[in-house]
Structure 1
């Protein structure tokens, strides 16, 4: 019985959620209202959450590029580096969005927006959402000459 409080005290740091960084070098951090502004102007939203979370709900029209599965698709040279990308995870306690933003910046994307607040903030304001549709991917084809 005496061991339980000591054990819990030692485990607390490991049980706490990891907070995402406030900003990522080379990208602009945007809040939910700024993200909505970019959404209305046609920026490409990329959801890096696992498929299970994606199917529960996501920003309407966002592309699903799970950080652990398909996010590296963006590294391909055929994607135009001037595309405005808004990359998000679920909230401020999800570091995956920041990691994905760092990768996109390192691949030469020039307009990368880090939506740190993520899907939960979007959902809270009842902005356009979608559900299901697992497997939507970024498809880019160059126009025929």
Structure 2
């Protein structure tokens, strides 16, 4: 019985997930990267700041190692400058994946505020987990 109840619940929630808009393919002021490029940036750019734009609870359950949690709706210019005071600091933003707009919103804000090296990991947490990359908790 529980199985059928879960199946019914999933079938009712699936259309809601499908209705979520896709994140844009490109983002003015930011370089779009995939998981492999994100890993390379993390390994080769010591000054890179990785910003997890997801909810705090999501971050606590698992995140890219070293990522700082800053919810997109809480990201003000002052809040970002506390994390990265130098506008030349390279920033990498991510959220839950292609159906999450949090990191694209945050990366666009950073670019608009004059940060010169903004990376956006469009596939985000979903792609990170699919590739079975390291997770911090």
TM over 0.5: yes
Contact residue 88 and residue 119 of structure 1 kept, 8 A:
yes
Q: Which residue of 2 aligns with 1:22?
A: 25
CA distance in 1, matches of 2:17, 2:95: 21
CA distance in 2, matches of 1:15, 1:35: 26
Contact residue 75 and residue 107 of structure 1 kept, 8 A:
no
Structure 1 gap segments, 5+ residues each: 1-11, 132-145
Structure 2 gap segments, 5+ residues each: 1-14
Contact residue 71 and residue 102 of structure 2 kept, 8 A:
no
TM-score normalised by structure 2 residue count:
0.79
Secondary structure at 2:118 match in 1: strand
Q: How far has the Cα of 1:66 moved from its partner? A: 1.2
RMSD: 2.1
Q: How many residues align?
A: 119
Greater percentage in helix: 2
1:52 and 1:27, CA in 2 relative to 1: closer, same or farther beyond 3 A? same
CA distance in 2, matches of 1:14, 1:120: 14
Whichever of the two has the greater Rg, that structure is 1
TM-score normalised by structure 1 residue count:
0.75
